């Protein structure tokens, strides 16, 4: 199991909006900015679905996801890849829904995407750009 290190967790914690990429079973890509992306364990990320259409359809067809993490202050970035499971009930779903509703009751909090991290790649420019680091 792949776990983010302390440096990665520090960069992750600074991000407000995450570009999240998925693809359909036919390989048609989709990238969308998502605000509710939380690292809930060193190897697990939660993504809250308020208004997903293509992203949700894609993960149901193809359970792979990529999340781009970039800190412009230190020019540090990496890409997280993982397998995703969509949940619409259960204790984790209810917890995510409560967090989203506490921010704004109008958000529907329809689905919880649970991402298990499988790989991390370097994105910072230089000799190691594109290399698998975890």
Average pLDDT rounded to a whole number, residues 84-95:
98
pLDDT at 53: 96
pLDDT digits (tens, 9 = 90+) for 23-77: 999 999 999 999 999 999 999 999 999 999 999 999 999 999 999 999 988 889 9
Answer yes or no: is pLDDT of 1 > 80.
Answer: no
User: What domains appear along the chain, each with residue ranges and CATH number?
Assistant: 6-122 (2.30.110.10)
- Interatomic CA distance for residues 36 and 38, integer angstroms: 6
pLDDT at 5: 95
The pair phi, psi for residue 80, each rounded to 5°, is -100, 135
**Residue 48 falls in which region: left (phi positive, over 0), alpha (psi -120 to 50) or beta:** beta
What does DSSP assign to residue 4?
-
Average pLDDT rounded to a whole number, residues 2-22:
95
The token pair that represents 37 in the structure block: 């992306």
Q: Kindly give, in sequence order, each residue whose CB lies less than 8 Å from that of residue 4, ignoring residues fewer than 6 positions away.
A: 12, 39, 42, 43, 80, 117, 120, 134
């Amino acid at each position: 199991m792949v776990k983010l290190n302390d440096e990665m967790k520090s960069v992750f914690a600074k991000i407000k909006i995450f570009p999240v990429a998925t693809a359909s079973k036919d390989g048609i890509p989709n990238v969308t900015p998502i605000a509710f992306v939380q690292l809930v364990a060193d190897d697990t990320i939660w993504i809250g679905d308020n208004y997903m259409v293509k992203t949700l359809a894609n993960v149901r067809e193809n359970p792979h996801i990529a999340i781009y993490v970039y800190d412009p202050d230190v020019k540090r970035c990496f890409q997280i890849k993982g397998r995703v499971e969509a949940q619409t009930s259960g204790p984790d779903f209810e917890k995510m829904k409560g967090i989203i509703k506490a921010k704004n009751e109008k958000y529907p909090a329809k689905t919880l995407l649970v991402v298990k991290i499988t790989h991390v790649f370097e994105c910072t420019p230089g000799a190691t750009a594109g290399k698998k680091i975890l």
